[in-house]
């Protein structure tokens, strides 16, 4: 192990504060959490109401603008909230810089991909696909 002669204060200060606007993310976590309460209630109700529905019926359901809008909001807020949580978990438990950077780039990239894919699916259904 390398000899550590850095002073305790130097180690405690580290690189200093990032000032990366973390408070905004912190606020968005809470905002999306609150928004997801009614959205998830609507989503569960929608799943129950459409249980066993045919493709044409689902297409007609998303053909209603409000249903498509609420579904897209649920996707956006749900993914944002889930990914914020996952990024925190990565920060907590994955400490190797290379490992952390790889995952911290891969997770949001996959979320963007999933988000766009899901929204396109909703739009195709809504437009009668």
The residues of the shown chain that bind other proteins, judged by CB under 8 A, are: 7-9, 11-14, 16-24, 26-27, 88, 91-96, 99
User: Three-state DSSP class for 31?
Assistant: helix
Q: HSE-up of 119 (CA within 13 Å, CB side)?
A: 16
Long-range contacts of 91-96 (CB under 8 A, 24+ apart): none
Q: Quick one: 90 or 126, whose CB is closer to other proteins?
A: 90
Q: Quick one: 55 or 95, whose CB is closer to other proteins?
A: 95
Task: Please state the closest distance from residue 80 (CB atom) to other proteins, in A.
Answer: 17
Task: Please state the closest distance from residue 38 (CB atom) to other proteins, in A.
Answer: 23
Could you tell me if 109 and 79 are in contact, meaning their C-beta atoms sit under 8 angstroms apart? no
Task: Please state the closest distance from residue 92 (CB atom) to other proteins, in A.
Answer: 5
């Amino acid at each position: 192990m390398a000899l550590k002669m850095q002073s305790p204060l130097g180690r405690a200060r580290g690189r200093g504060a990032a000032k990366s606007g973390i408070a905004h993310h912190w606020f968005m976590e809470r905002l999306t959490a609150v928004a997801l309460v009614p959205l998830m209630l609507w989503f569960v109700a929608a799943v129950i109401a459409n249980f066993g529905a045919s493709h044409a019926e689902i297409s007609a359901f998303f053909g209603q603008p409000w249903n498509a809008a609420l579904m897209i909001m649920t996707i956006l807020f749900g993914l944002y909230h889930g990914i914020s949580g996952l990024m925190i978990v990565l920060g907590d438990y994955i400490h190797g810089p290379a490992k952390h950077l790889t995952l911290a780039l891969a997770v949001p990239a996959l979320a963007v991909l999933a988000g766009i894919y899901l929204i396109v699916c909703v739009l195709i259904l809504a437009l009668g696909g």
